[in-house]
Amino acid sequence: MNPDLAKLQAYPFEKLRKLKAGIKPAKDSPILLSIGEPKHPTPEIIKQAIIDNLDGLAKYPLTKGDTALREAISHWLVERFSLSAANPETQVLPVNGTREALFAFAQAVLDRTQVNARVLLPNPFYQIYEGAALLAGVQPEFINISERSGLIPDFDSITESTWQQCQLLYICTPGNPTGAVIPLATLKHLIELAQRYDFIIASDECYSELYQDENQPPPGLLQAATEMGNTEFKQCVVFHSLSKRSNAPGLRSGFVAGDATILQKFLLYRTYHGCAMPPAMQAASTAAWSDESHVRQNRLWYQEKFIAVEEILAPVLKFSRPPAGFYLWPQTPMPDALFTRELYAQENVTVLPGSYLSRDTVQGNPGAGHVRIALVAPLEECLEAARRIVHFVEAQ
């Protein structure tokens, strides 16, 4: 067996299952707010496109994807991030969900023969980043978030020697779990560092379309590159998904875009990987990327939930409404795992301990003392969960 498999840690939800094992909640009607799985309805245009294109099952799809899909993605990128262009032939690549792509990307771009090579990633983080680094044979290096850094990674804490060792930097903006957005100026600074120290930036932007202020959509890495005159997106690659944007996690559809030289090699890797998107899913994806009305409605639903839930929880928990995403990241009045366990036992509400999303560092575990609350359930269910959380906190 691959010896690097032994380096993988249990996934957060496996830890959560163990934490809850053997507990019979005091209340019926469970409310699950631990998993970032959208519960809003999938748009009819996506469903209908699948139905209308089932004849595509008779054909082998191209790993590169259909021209229509790549052109739809290119058009969306240009419009959304004010790009001068995004070549659908060389700078766009459809993928079967960004989880698969974020993992595979590291396997394609990392050089395990380089001594002391590093993959830098935020802490807390999406665990795929860590697993991708370890199974590519490269050591992950964690960049802690903090209140001082605005709940984004503290990039100023990284030494020059570490930047020199870096081959790949994962960032997530808007962030999971904090919802914090990396400012455009910081993205530009990271691009400068990538050019100076010769590493690749992989920007996970899966939450970019769920934001609170309609007049301030989160900036993206390719937008920063364009404003710097880096219209070829050198050393910049972004990952986008329909899972959150379009409430279609089961579609397993997203894309990678950016540096054409990197994507050419990634496409070669994927050709052997055997991960072409089925034709009907490509047609559904084309429809989804070509429509913004359902995305605006989706944001309104989340905005409504944030406002209502914040009003209930603010008196008992310390947190700030994030500018984007669908998570709350409150501080807990007791250790986060204990808070999660007892909240489940007493109120049958499941959240996720922040320490399960982080790793211990010399500075401590930046996720400790927080929980992640995913406001994915319908409004009334989220409100009921908030009331139960208040009842639980006040009873302590």
Q: Cβ(193)–Cβ(221) under 8 Å?
A: no
List, for residues 315-332, the tens digit of each pLDDT value: 999 999 999 999 999 999
List, for residues 335-344, the tens digit of each pLDDT value: 999 999 999 9
Among 272, 291, 310, which residue terminates a domain? Answer: 291
Q: Is the pLDDT of residue 17 over 90?
A: yes
**Residues near 128 by beta carbon (within 8 Å), at least 6 away in sequence:** 99, 102, 103
List, for residues 355-378, the tens digit of each pLDDT value: 999 999 999 999 999 999 999 999
Q: State residue 215's pLDDT score.
A: 95
- Extended beta strands in 43-132, E state: 92-95, 118-123
103/105 Cα distance (integer angstroms): 6
140 shares a domain with 15: no
Mean pLDDT value of segment 287-313: 97
238/255 Cα distance (integer angstroms): 8
What's the pLDDT band for 209 if we cut at 50, 70, 90? very high
Q: State residue 56's pLDDT score.
A: 87
- Extended beta strands in 279-331, E state: 327-328
Computed from CA positions of residues 309, 314, 315, 319, in that sequence, does the dihedral angle turn out positive or negative?
Answer: positive
182 shares a domain with 128: yes
99/77 Cα distance (integer angstroms): 20
284 shares a domain with 346: no
Mean pLDDT value of segment 46-59: 93
**Any idea what the CATH number is for the domain that residue 298 is in?**
3.90.1150.10
Structure tokens at 9: 């840690």
Q: Is the pLDDT of residue 147 over 90?
A: no
268 shares a domain with 119: yes
256 shares a domain with 161: yes
181/151 Cα distance (integer angstroms): 9
Domain that holds residue 27: 3-41+294-395
List, for residues 277-295, the tens digit of each pLDDT value: 999 999 999 999 999 999 9
Structure tokens at 273: 């990987």
Task: Give the whole-number percent of the chain exceeding pLDDT 90.
Answer: 96
Q: What is the DSSP letter of 324?
A: B
73/289 Cα distance (integer angstroms): 6
Q: Which of 77, 85, 375 is nearest to 255 (CA)?
A: 77
Q: What is the DSSP letter of 205?
A: -
157 shares a domain with 306: no
List, for residues 75-92, the tens digit of each pLDDT value: 999 999 999 999 999 999
pTM (predicted TM-score): 0.96
Q: Is the pLDDT of residue 274 over 90?
A: no
For 30, phi then psi, to 5°, come to -65, 150
